[in-house]
Amino acid sequence: QVVAVYGTLSDLLSVASSKLGIKATSVYNGKGGLIDDIALIRDDDVLFVCEGEPFIDPQTDGRPHEELTGSHTDWLTLNVGGRYFTTTRSTLVNKEPDSMLAHMFKDKDAWGNKQDHRGAFLIDRSPEYFEPILNYLRHGQLIVNDGINLLGVLEEARFFGIDSLIEHLEIAIKNSQPAEDHSPISRKEFVRFLLATPTKSELRCQGLNFSGADLSRLDLRYINFKMANLSRCNLAHANLCCANLERADLSGSVLDCANLQGVKMLCSNAEGASLKGCNFEDPSGLKANLEGANLKGVDMEGSQMTGINLRVATLKNAKLKNCNLRGATLAGTDLENCDLSGCDLQEANLRGSNVKGAIFEEMLTPLHMSQSVR
């Protein structure tokens, strides 16, 4: 039939259905290419319409076009997860010759590909993620529509073995990630966090950045601050009973009158911090552990530190005036130029400690040589 082509593709299908007495659903050009836009049709083009079956070239004695051998530019249709894609064999083969898709369609029936009732090759994968892969094989550019998860496309690219696309996707995913936020946590944010957490739950703040935050007078019992940045924080009057401050940075912080019963501050850095009037003494016998801590230049005047563990800690130039250090472990501790005047050191273990230049004036308990200080 000779027809005038006008309007839209739907208009053409309607005219063809009327002229041929069929329900036309698809239009092909003379080479089997699916027409999806009427603008692709030129004068004197020979067109073929069908009711949904695959294109059959009249010159091949009724054999489906994709059954022709020796050609790598045959048009074929893929049924990917229920969605149809029309492409050429060369598109699937040429750009990535070592990929799974290339091996599937390089040679006729090499993989025994299954076909549906329309002759489309069945592939049980996600059509949403397959479309960007097919377009990449067509023109070599990675184009992904909004709302498509790049991780899904990456997984499909790995499945089909499209190596060059994998590299593009990994870069795109990396560039799409938001920049890491290293800004300190404010008091308002942390209080909101505390209120949203059950009181019986262990609160893990390991490695978080609280630098410069005002956390004064808060109930911070049992919280895990291991390796957290608490430098220059205001922790005055805070309840840090049994908190874990191991390897935390407390340099320059203010912890005056804080409750530090049973606190764990192993190898923490509290250089230059103020801990005046702190309570480390736990009536139940749980001892605060500051072993190996850096306490250079700290001011701990008037603190209660009965039984505290300061083994091999550094207290050089620290102020410990009028502190209660009864039964404290100070073995191997650096007390150089430390002010210990007015301290109670009864039963304290000072074996191997460095007291060079230390001040012991008005010490409540005389320092005996049997304590082996150096």
Task: Answer for the pair 129, 156: CB distance below 8 angstroms, yes or no.
Answer: yes
**Total-model pTM:** 0.52
Three-state DSSP state, 312? coil
Are 150 and 215 in the same domain?
A: no
Residues 6+ apart with CB under 8 A from 353: 330, 331, 332, 333, 334, 335, 373, 374
Q: Tell me what pLDDT residue 84 has.
A: 94
Are 315 and 368 in the same domain?
A: yes
Are 113 and 212 in the same domain?
A: no
Are 358 and 229 in the same domain?
A: yes
Residue 68 within a domain: no
Domain count, the chain: 3
Which residue, 43, 63, 83, sits at the end of a domain?
Answer: 63
Q: Tell me what pLDDT residue 277 has.
A: 96
d(CA 26, CA 24): 6
Are 139 and 187 in the same domain?
A: no
Are 85 and 154 in the same domain?
A: yes
Max Cα–Cα distance, the chain, nearest Å: 120
d(CA 256, CA 204): 24
Residue 1 within a domain: yes
Q: Tell me what pLDDT residue 333 has.
A: 95
CA angle 183, 184, 190 (to 5 degrees): 130
Are 94 and 192 in the same domain?
A: no
Which residue, 63, 83, 107, sits at the end of a domain?
Answer: 63
Task: Output the tens digit of pLDDT for each of the chain's 374 residues.
Answer: 677 777 788 888 888 888 887 888 888 877 777 877 777 777 777 888 887 776 666 555 444 444 434 444 478 899 999 999 999 888 999 888 999 888 888 876 555 678 888 888 899 999 999 999 999 999 888 888 888 899 999 999 999 999 999 988 988 888 877 656 568 888 998 998 888 887 767 788 999 999 999 999 999 999 999 999 999 999 999 999 999 999 999 999 999 999 999 999 999 999 999 999 999 988 888 899 999 999 999 999 999 999 999 999 999 999 999 999 999 999 999 999 999 999 999 999 999 999 999 888 765 555 543 344 55
Taking the alpha carbons of 265, 270, 271, 274 in that order, is the dihedral positive or negative?
negative
Residue 243 within a domain: yes
Query: 250: domain range?
Result: 181-373
CATH code at 38? 3.10.20
Q: Tell me what pLDDT residue 55 has.
A: 67
Are 262 and 320 in the same domain?
A: yes
Q: Which residues pair with 88 in a beta bridge?
A: 75
Are 91 and 204 in the same domain?
A: no
Which residue, 174, 208, 241, sits at the end of a domain?
Answer: 174
**Residue 187 CB neighbours (<10 A):** 15
Q: Tell me what pLDDT residue 68 has.
A: 39
C-alpha distances in angstroms, 46 versus 1, 57, 60, 166? 10, 12, 16, 41
Three-state DSSP state, 125? coil
Are 316 and 216 in the same domain?
A: yes
Are 188 and 284 in the same domain?
A: yes
Are 226 and 354 in the same domain?
A: yes
Task: Answer for the pair 192, 166: CB distance below 8 angstroms, yes or no.
Answer: no
CATH code at 355? 2.160.20.80
CATH code at 125? 3.30.710.10
